[in-house]
Amino acid sequence: MKIIDLDFQPTARRDLPFRELKDGGVVYEYNTDTFHSLNTTAAYIWILCDGNHTVAEIINSIKQNFSQFESDPANEVIKIIEKFRTLNLLTDD
């Protein structure tokens, strides 16, 4: 399994339905009939987990679009992507 570093390009599983909401989004894992609710930042990161963006690019995008982070959001972004992977929401490659 690849390490989640700045060059890693996370890819969300395409078979999982995602719906955007006013303040975030939800991912439905039908195998376990589980819903994962995502806050605004996590939903934004989820959309960027398309296999075309590196973690560094996602962090930069968060910096540009979210004002609530006073310090560097890098750790927060990596934590969220790790959480996606732990929950088996990302593809293995």
User: Contact with other proteins (CB under 8 A): which of 6, 7, 39, 50?
Assistant: 39
SS3 76: helix
Please identify, using beta-carbon distances, which residue of 31 and 52 lies nearer to other proteins. 31
Residue 32 lies near other proteins (rule: CB under 8 A): no
Exposed (0-12), middle (13-18) or buried (19+): which is 47, by Cβ within 10 Å? Answer: middle
x/- contact string, 57-76, with other proteins (CB under 8 A)? --------------------
Phi-psi region of 55 (alpha: psi -120 to 50; beta: other; left: phi over 0): alpha
Site membership for other proteins, residue 15 (CB under 8 A):
no
